[in-house]
Chains A and B, each alone.
Chain A
C-alpha cells in the first residue's frame, strides 16, 4: 500500500494538533509500529509529492498537520 500512492505530509496549515473525533496529543499513546519497522514513506514537500505523483500516475493522499503540539517538538 505504501507504494501505491504519492503520499504527502504537509507540515503546514492546521495547527494545534486537535483532531475532530480523535484523541488530543495529551491523550495519545505509543505508535503501534515498533522502532525500526517500516511505516509510510511520506513526501514532506508539496513539490516533491506532486512531481512524484505526476511521474508515477498515482493518487495523492494529502495530509496537513502541525509539526508540534503546544510548542513541544518531536510529536508529529
Chain B
C-alpha cells in the first residue's frame, strides 16, 4: 500500500493479501486506508485506464474475461478523448466491467477480425488466450456518452452470454497442451535473492526455479530457455 504521492509506503510488500493487509481481513484494512486518504476529487472524473500496448491489453482482457474497449484515434484527437471518456469509463454501468486501451495507427488490426478502415471506439471480444480477438461493436469517435454506454452494455451482455467462464487450472493445462505461448516483457522465473537476475536452479535450465515445481522445475525441463513459437 502506497500513499497518494506514490512514494510513501503504508505497508510492507509481500505476496499474499494477509501478509500485507493483516489477518483481520482485507476489506477492513482497505477501509482504514480509505479513511486515511479520503478522495479529494470527484471519482467520476477519474482517469481512463490505459495499457502499455494493445498486445498486453488483449491478454489482460482475456484473462479477466472482459470486453476490451479500444480507442483508436489519430494523435491529434486522443487527448480530447481521454478527457471526454472519463464520464463513460466511470459510469456505474461501466466501471469494473471493461478494460480500456488507447492505440493509434492500425497495427492492432492484425490480431483482430471484423475491423473497419476508419478509426473509432472498438469493442473487442478477446480470444481465449488473449492472442487474438474479434470486433463486437464499433462506434465513431464522435459518438455521445449515452450512446457509448448503451453500446458497451449491449456488448457486455453479448459477451457474457456467449463466453464460457474460465477455470484457470484447465485453461493453463489446455494452453500447455496446445503449445500456446506468450512472450512477456519480463523474463520467466524469479529474482528471489534480489541480485537483478532471474534465479537459476541447477544451472541454466529453463526459465527459473520455484523450488522444484512450476516454470523452473518439471515444466521447464523440456522447454529450454528460449521462447516457443506462437501457434
Query: Which A residues form the contact surface with B (CB < 8 A)?
Result: 1-6, 9, 11-22, 24-31, 34-46, 48-62, 66-76
Contacts and interface: CB of A to CB of B under 8 A. Distances in A.
B150 interface: no
Given A67-B59, A72-B171, 17 more contacts: A1-B30, A16-B210, A17-B214, A22-B16, A34-B160, A35-B163, A50-B6, A53-B5, A57-B4, A60-B4, A69-B172, A70-B176, A71-B223, A71-B227, A72-B129, A74-B127, A74-B128
Given A29-B169, A52-B47, A58-B37, A39 B129 contact: no
A20 B214 CA distance: 13
B172 to A, nearest CB: 5
A74 B188 contact: no
A60 B190 contact: no
Interface residues of B, number: 89
Contacts of B31: 1
Contacts of B14: 20
Interface string B165-179: 111110111011000
Contacts of B186: 12-13, 15, 66-67
Contact of B169 (A25, A61, A73): A25
Residue of B13, B168, B207 ringed by the most chain A CB atoms within 10 A: B168
Contacts of A1: 27, 30-31, 34
B5 to A, nearest CB: 7
- For the residues of A in contact with B, the DSSP-based class is loop
23 contacts: A4-B30, A4-B34, A16-B189, A26-B173, A27-B169, A29-B169, A30-B165, A35-B165, A36-B160, A38-B95, A44-B52, A56-B40, A57-B41, A58-B37, A67-B60, A67-B185, A70-B214, A71-B180, A71-B181, A71-B182, A71-B227, A73-B59, A73-B131
Interface stretch (B62-70, B72-80, B116-124, B137-145): B62-70
A47 to B, nearest CB: 9
A56 B214 contact: no
Residue of B5, B96, B185 ringed by the most chain A CB atoms within 10 A: B96
B99 A38 contact: no
Contacts, number: 249
Given A29-B168, A57-B38, A18 B210 contact: yes
Nearest to B39: A56
Nearest to A20: B15
B155 to A, nearest CB: 10
B142 to A, nearest CB: 25
Nearest to B160: A36
Contacts of A30: 165-168
B60 to A, nearest CB: 7
B4 A3 contact: no
Nearest to B127: A74
A23 B198 CA distance: 22
B215 interface: yes
